[in-house]
Amino acid sequence: MDRYALIGHPVAHSKSPSIHAAFAAQTGQAMTYERILAPLDGFTDTVRDFIAAGGRGMNVTVPFKLEAFALADHLSPRAQAAGAVNTLSFRADGIHGDNTDGVGVVRDLIANLDCPLAGRRVLLLGAGGAARGALQPLIEAGPARLHLANRTAAKAAELVAQFQALAGALTLTASGFDELGRDAFDVIINATSASLSSAAPAIPDTVYAPGALAYDMMYGAEPTAFLIAASTAGAARVADGLGMLIEQAAESFLIWRGVRPDTAPVLAAQRATLAGG
């Protein structure tokens, strides 16, 4: 049995083992997937111990994605763009690092939520690691405009400057939250950590265009504060990030096993579990 794991601190809450077990059963893969709680000062040693014990790959969660980026011998283009790694593969030529978070968001929006991004106006809230990881896949999805807004405008502008060359003809802009309001958007994605503290980013109601979808990268049994605020402000549709979790896991599974699982039944099962069903 090939061994895989999630490494983080904490990890006890993670749904990743049940998700990958479902993927393995569906595709007939002989593998195990476990949680590994690494000491905050022991990420590299824990990874190398796992490799020595025959481990084939790892997902990486907080707070180790930057350390995983530094540890990798080889980085995918999207990991380089994100500046962080959430998927490690252990191969004969070294440790390979990838980032599947952004593609998870895009696949969830397009495939699960039937929300095409090509030609749409997209607003991305936040300028931290989650936003950075999403930028390249969002750019590649071909929106007409992609605007990055953050509480601190300078941080948003700095991040946009780093991705400007990749954007090509795409209109890629930045501002603070307090500068929003003049333009409306078709898709509004919350990549801030506000939902962790039951808060919502301070954005005006006018950012929601008719028919707009509000999407929170966070998820829970109940709608997040951002999704509640978006519904009140007039967003036509709202969706949380459970599908993102499933899709980024499927992308990691594809990297490791060479087969893409069908995410729909796994998402449905996880949603039912989350709802207590």
**Any catalytic annotation for residue 109?**
no
Closest listed residue to residue 76, CA positions, set 61, 62, 95, 57: 95
Residue 93 counted as an annotated binding residue: no
Sheet holding 31-37, edge to edge: 31-37, 2-8, 55-60, 87-91, 94-98, 74-75
- Whole-angstrom Cα Rg for the chain: 19
Residue 168 counted as an annotated binding residue: no
Residue 14 counted as an annotated binding residue: yes
Residue 112 DSSP class:
I
Residue 59 counted as an annotated binding residue: no
Task: Please tell me which residue in 7, 33, 58, 65 is annotated as part of the active site.
Answer: 65
Residue 112 counted as an annotated binding residue: no
Residue 253: which residues within 8 A CB-CB, separation 6 or more?
Answer: 20, 23, 27, 259, 260, 261
Cα-Cα end-to-end distance for the chain: 31
Residue 18 counted as an annotated binding residue: no
Residue 195 counted as an annotated binding residue: no
Residue 241 DSSP class:
S
Residue 152 counted as an annotated binding residue: yes
Enumerate the known binding-site residues for NADP(+): 126-130, 150-155, 217, 241
- Residues with catalytic annotation? 65
Enumerate the known binding-site residues for shikimate: 14-16, 61, 86, 101, 219, 248
Enumerate the known binding-site residues: 14-16, 61, 86, 101, 126-130, 150-155, 217, 219, 241, 248
